[in-house]
Copies of this chain bind each other. A is one copy, B any other.
Amino acid sequence: MPKQTFLSLPEDKQNTLIQSAKKEFSRVPLHEASIANIIKDAGIPRGSFYQYFEDKEDLYYYLLNQVAQENNKKLNSILQEKKGNLMDALADQFRYMISLRHDEEHKDFLRYAFLNMNHRKENTMANNIYKESLKNERSQTLEMVDTSYLNIEDKQELSHVIRIVGAITFHNLVQVFVHDLTDEEAIFNYDAQISLIKKGLQRKEVD
């Protein structure tokens, strides 16, 4: 989390720094990004940076979390639109996510995020790290799921379902960036996989 000092800064100064950071994190992946570049671009001294953030990661995950929050809102609205049908909502959400690749502002930032997706980034995207407010939003999302569409018996199974579709969704998003899939290819694969797990991987015994 950014330190209080940063949050107390005049908004435009905050934005300058954020813009510079986004620029750097869009140039190279996190581990190659340098604080030196960010502060040079933002025109602030090195010491100040460390008054605002713990380190590079702190700033990075602050940004990533902002993206995640937008995303979460989107999912909520889609889920509402789909009347609680989780699988349908995810199919839409997936399409939305890959469409972000064409958005100049997020493009390369997302690209490097997914090319170097790891547990912490995934967790941030799925929103578990920041703020209690998010915990609320999260369960708010969960509450919206209409479980009658799903082949489950209790809340615990719902959480397993979430993990399953989450793992598959992230896997597919990573594939999109790693192999530079077209939207069509990406959607085809994702839908195929979702369809498979919806109907079940195990052949029913035919007697």
Which A residues are closer than 8 A to B by beta carbons? Answer: 31, 87, 115-119, 148-152, 156-157, 160-161, 163-168, 170-171, 174, 178, 189, 192-193, 196-204
Chain copies in the assembly? Answer: 2
A203 to B171, CA, bound (A): 24
Is there an interface contact between A160 and B148, defined as CB atoms closer than 8 Å? no
A117 to B174, CA, bound (A): 13
B residues less than 8 Å from A178 (CB atoms): 119
| 16 interchain pairs, CB-CB under 8 A | A87-B201, A116-B119, A148-B203, A151-B196, A151-B204, A157-B192, A160-B193, A163-B168, A163-B193, A164-B196, A164-B197, A197-B201, A198-B201, A199-B202, A200-B200, A200-B201
Known A115-B119, A151-B201, A198-B202; contact A193-B171, beta-carbon cutoff 8 A: no
